Structure 1
Amino acid sequence: MPNSLADQDERLRRPAELRSIWLGATKVSFVPDGAVQGRPSAWLPDSTDDFWAAHPQYLDDTGHLVASLGGLLVEHGDRALLIDTGFGPQALSADPGTPNGSIYGGGFLNSLAELGRSPEQIEAVAFSHLHPDHLGWAVHPAPGTGARAFAHADYLVTEPEWAQHAQPETDHTADEAIAALAPHVRTVTDGQHIFPGVQVRITAGHTEGHAEFVITGGGRRLIAFGDSMHSPIQADHPEWSCVYDHDPARSAGHRHRLIAELEEPDTIGFGIHFADVVFGHVRRDGQGPAWRPLDTTDAGHDQPQ
């Protein structure tokens, strides 16, 4: 049976594969780069060890949450937009002094090629925010070239996000990463349309200028909600903010509204850090977890559960 409960549990314990869906004439695809492990009670400080002991399906064999790293490719005709670019060609070992286990990137360009796109075909890269696990390949040299993969594309950043990071005295992101972005940055505003069927909305809470992207087509809409949620369990517990949210109360308030929105008809969510359940709906009907992943196929079609 496709998308059975056992299959869903298995998908919760592994990084996301390349997955695509269609919204009318627009194709949207998760572009895998790598993954990061999170210590569950450290990532979601309002959760408890007892909760995770009772919900082992969310944890890998080492007891960590599995979070995917990558980006979202939006294709309309011969045009292509990227939203976020993963972690880049690097890896870090688990650090007991942080909430994280191991983290690695590196697969993004191969994933993009598998989707039939080269970096030169990307007209713009839009960022949900400027944390390193979203900047990735926009600031790291492509292997064997010495050049950044998307250096020729426009980099779209919300005005408040850029204002926070472009100041010399801030330390949110390494100065060299901001310097690499700066020549290509074009700031965008709340409600702005940046690509056919793609609209920006600023949803502060994770960062001051954090952006979500609403993509519409074929009578459906997809909300690419960035780091508004880090784990599908937050669809059941919107009050649980991530340790990396700069304003946990504001983040939780927005998440309650977001989850209600994701329950609306013909609405799909995209969670970039979810495990192998990045596309889904929210159904709070008492019949299991609220996040209901789509059963996507390599052919680019999707089958709602």
Structure 2
Amino acid sequence: MADASAYPDERLRRPAMGRSLRLGATRVSYVPDGVLLGRPGAWLPDTTERTWAEHPEYLDASGYVVASVGSLLIEHGDRALLIDAGLGPYALPADPATPNGPAHGGALLDNLAALGRRPDRIEAVAFSHLHPDHVGWAAHIAPGADRPAFTDAAHLVAEPEWARYRRPKAGQQETLTALAPQVRTVADGEEIFPGVRARFAPGHTAGHTEFVITGGGHRLIAFGDSLHLPIQVDHPEWRCVWDDDPAAAAEHRRRLVAELREPATLGFGVHFADVVFGHVRPSPSGPAWQPLDEGDAGDVRDVRDAGDVPGDGEE
């Protein structure tokens, strides 16, 4: 494998810094919580060792792909909506029995505070889906607290996604119990906040949901886990090991990549290392993810980063 340190751009292999941009009167901010590392060939089973030898820019020093974990804060006037709730205040070691390397959360509340938002000033949390790295702080109690962080907020979940949890699998009952009192189910196309509409994008899960934010003559598609890594923009046929319906997920990725090439259309990939905001542009080898830089994004600012991942550094 080529040495990834030879590549000067570190953004594809480090957790995302917090960044904000404006869409007219609406400000959207990525709020870091932590990071999840993965074994590249296990996360994307259609890839090969040659794939990653040719793309070492995606791999950290231990050979993992890097997925950021966090939330998208949407502010319109005094109102605030949060999309997803990170991993929560705990860490996981690398597990040889799964595709995952080490992971940790814990930074979300501090980073919200840096943006001037307390949890009790979030009117709703909208979930792309109910996997643990998106439910996080909405279901788990932080050290020193007596309840999850967002119990004053409505929890907005697609009806097909919530239906899956009415018959919880082993290990899901605690999450279900924590979320249920605040859950309000939403419909496909429903406006859930000024300028924000939910749209169903099944494949990763049965009720996986994207959110389309419009303002200032632009739209931003927060596409959740429709895409996990920027390299899938070049290869939307490559499934993720966590997709419930790989064929449906791949077909949606093809449509999404085409949509992200349209004028005045931006994307937000919550797991996209340190290139979470971007758009799709042509390249010699096909469509490619082009991250937004400060000159592109308008009001861009940094908040505290997610920090380093604790772990043994071994695959």
State whether TM-score is above 0.5. Answer: yes
Residue matched to 1:48: 48
Residue matched to 1:58: 58
- The answer to whether the 8 A contact 1:41-1:48 is kept is yes
Match 2:183 to one of 185, 198, 202: 185
Q: Is residue 226 of structure 2 the alignment partner of residue 231 of structure 1?
A: no
Match 1:273 to one of 262, 271, 276: 271
Residue matched to 1:131: 131
Note the alpha carbon deviations across 1:64-113, whole angstroms, 9 max, x for none: 00000001000000000000010000101001110000010000000101
Deviates further, 185-194 or 171-180: 171-180
Residues 1:13 and 1:288: Cα distance change in structure 2 (over 3 Å): farther
Q: Give, in angstroms, the shift of residue 158 of structure 1.
A: 0.3
Q: Give, in angstroms, the shift of residue 261 of structure 1.
A: 0.1
Residue matched to 2:9: 9
Match 1:240 to one of 238, 241, 251: 238
| Structure 2 Cα separation of the partners of residues 161 and 122 of structure 1 | 22
- The answer to whether the 8 A contact 1:44-1:242 is kept is yes
Q: Is residue 267 of structure 2 the alignment partner of residue 282 of structure 1?
A: no
Match 1:214 to one of 208, 212, 235: 212
- The answer to whether the 8 A contact 1:131-1:173 is kept is no
Residues 1:157 and 1:173: Cα distance change in structure 2 (over 3 Å): farther
Q: How is 1:72-83 mapped onto 2 (pairs within 5 angstroms)?
A: 72-83=72-83
Q: Is residue 198 of structure 2 the alignment partner of residue 200 of structure 1?
A: yes
Q: What are structure 2's unaligned runs of at least 5 residues?
A: 1-5, 302-315
Residues 1:160 and 1:47: Cα distance change in structure 2 (over 3 Å): same
What code does the residue aligned with 2:120 have?
Answer: E
Residues 1:66 and 1:172: Cα distance change in structure 2 (over 3 Å): farther
Q: Is residue 49 of structure 2 the alignment partner of residue 32 of structure 1?
A: no
- The answer to whether the 8 A contact 1:294-1:302 is kept is no
- The answer to whether the 8 A contact 1:127-1:156 is kept is yes
Q: Is residue 284 of structure 2 the alignment partner of residue 294 of structure 1?
A: no
Secondary structure of the equivalent of 2:163?
A: helix
What code does the residue aligned with 1:209 have?
Answer: G
What code does the residue aligned with 1:240 have?
Answer: W
What code does the residue aligned with 2:161 have?
Answer: E
Note the alpha carbon deviations across 1:37-63, whole angstroms, 9 max, x for none: 010000000011111011100000000
Note the alpha carbon deviations across 1:130-165, whole angstroms, 9 max, x for none: 000000000111331222110111000000000011
- The answer to whether the 8 A contact 1:203-1:210 is kept is yes
Q: Give, in angstroms, the shift of residue 9 of structure 1.
A: 3.0
Note the alpha carbon deviations across 1:213-256, whole angstroms, 9 max, x for none: 00000000000000000000000000001000000011000000
Note the alpha carbon deviations across 1:103-124, whole angstroms, 9 max, x for none: 1000000010111100010000
Q: Give, in angstroms, the shift of residue 286 of structure 1.
A: 1.7
| Structure 1 Cα separation of the partners of residues 87 and 47 of structure 2 | 26
| Structure 2 Cα separation of the partners of residues 288 and 202 of structure 1 | 27
Q: Give, in angstroms, the shift of residue 172 of structure 1.
A: 7.1
Note the alpha carbon deviations across 1:172-213, whole angstroms, 9 max, x for none: 762011011001100001000000000000000000000000
What code does the residue aligned with 2:238 have?
Answer: W
Q: Give, in angstroms, the shift of residue 296 of structure 1.
A: 3.7
| Structure 2 Cα separation of the partners of residues 293 and 84 of structure 1 | 21
Residue matched to 1:3: none
Residue matched to 2:311: none
Q: What are structure 1's unaligned runs of at least 5 residues?
A: 1-5
| Structure 1 Cα separation of the partners of residues 125 and 8 of structure 2 | 31
What code does the residue aligned with 2:262 have?
Answer: E
Residues 1:8 and 1:69: Cα distance change in structure 2 (over 3 Å): farther
- The answer to whether the 8 A contact 2:67-2:272 is kept is yes
Secondary structure of the equivalent of 2:62?
A: coil
Q: Give % identity.
A: 65
- The answer to whether the 8 A contact 2:159-2:187 is kept is yes
| Structure 1 Cα separation of the partners of residues 119 and 8 of structure 2 | 32
Residues 1:33 and 1:153: Cα distance change in structure 2 (over 3 Å): same
What code does the residue aligned with 2:233 have?
Answer: A
Residue matched to 1:18: 18
Q: Give, in angstroms, the shift of residue 289 of structure 1.
A: 6.9
| Structure 1 Cα separation of the partners of residues 13 and 263 of structure 2 | 28
- The answer to whether the 8 A contact 2:19-2:300 is kept is no
Secondary structure of the equivalent of 1:290?
A: strand
Q: Is residue 150 of structure 2 the alignment partner of residue 147 of structure 1?
A: no
Secondary structure of the equivalent of 2:257?
A: helix
Secondary structure of the equivalent of 2:273?
A: coil
- The answer to whether the 8 A contact 1:233-1:289 is kept is no
| Structure 1 Cα separation of the partners of residues 94 and 36 of structure 2 | 9
| Structure 1 Cα separation of the partners of residues 214 and 283 of structure 2 | 26
Residues 1:258 and 1:40: Cα distance change in structure 2 (over 3 Å): same
| Structure 1 Cα separation of the partners of residues 75 and 8 of structure 2 | 27
